[in-house]
């Protein structure tokens, strides 16, 4: 049976230009070429203003890693985030209550005076709370216990 060598370290790039990989060399050569163009075309004090950020960006592209990934990936993701479309799944809208809407709700509550006297809430947060409250009220009515209206804070 023939034996074959399995390639190892396939994620590590080969060093082509001394201690630099091909990508690192291209990033540094591009940054150096742009700095040389600034140096030859602009006065030295203006050229330095442009050369320092370009050299820092080229060095970051060549050597800096963000969370174990190359810096160019972080730059690509930043451009995609800032210039790409964004999907908003949920936005909270607060309803504005006008005075006429308050009056209508008060009139509606007055018309349901029978429920208001019993203390039956019109709406609640969940169906489970509605069910437990209804069972509690019916049990209390069967046992003949009157609701005093005083709350101890331990009710469900």
Residues 75-90: pLDDT tens digits?
Answer: 999 999 999 988 877 7
Residues 28 and 20 sit within 8 Å (Cβ to Cβ): yes
Residue 130 lies in a domain: no
Q: Domain containing 34: what range? A: 15-63
Residue 84 lies in a domain: no
| Number of compact structural domains in the chain | 1
Residue 43 lies in a domain: yes
Q: What is the pTM of this model?
A: 0.51
Residue 92 has pLDDT above 80, yes or no: no
Q: What is the pLDDT of residue 144?
A: 63
Residue 72 lies in a domain: no
Q: How far apart are CA 52 and CA 34, in angstroms?
A: 11
In the numeric block, the tokens 């999907």 are attached to 87
pLDDT digits (tens, 9 = 90+) for 94-107: 767 666 666 666 66
Residue 10 lies in a domain: no
Q: How far apart are CA 38 and CA 47, in angstroms?
A: 5
Q: Cα-Cα-Cα-Cα dihedral of 132, 135, 140, 142, to 10°? A: -170
What is the C-alpha end-to-end distance of the chain, expressed in Å?
A: 76
């Amino acid at each position: 049976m023939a034996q074959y060598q399995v390639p190892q370290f396939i994620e590590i790039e080969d060093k082509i230009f001394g201690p630099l990989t091909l990508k690192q060399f291209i990033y540094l050569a591009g940054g150096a070429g742009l700095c040389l163009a600034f140096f030859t075309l602009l006065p030295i004090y203006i050229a330095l203003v442009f050369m320092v950020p370009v050299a820092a960006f080229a060095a970051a592209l060549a050597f800096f890693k963000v969370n174990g990934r190359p810096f160019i990936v972080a730059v690509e993701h930043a451009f995609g985030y800032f210039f790409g479309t964004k999907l908003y799944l949920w936005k909270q809208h607060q309803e504005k209550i006008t005075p006429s809407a308050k009056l209508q709700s008060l009139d509606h509550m007055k018309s349901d005076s029978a429920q208001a006297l019993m203390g039956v809430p019109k709406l609640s947060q969940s169906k489970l709370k509605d069910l437990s409250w209804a069972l509690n009220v019916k049990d209390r009515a069967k046992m003949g216990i009157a609701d005093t209206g005083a709350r101890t804070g331990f009710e469900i």
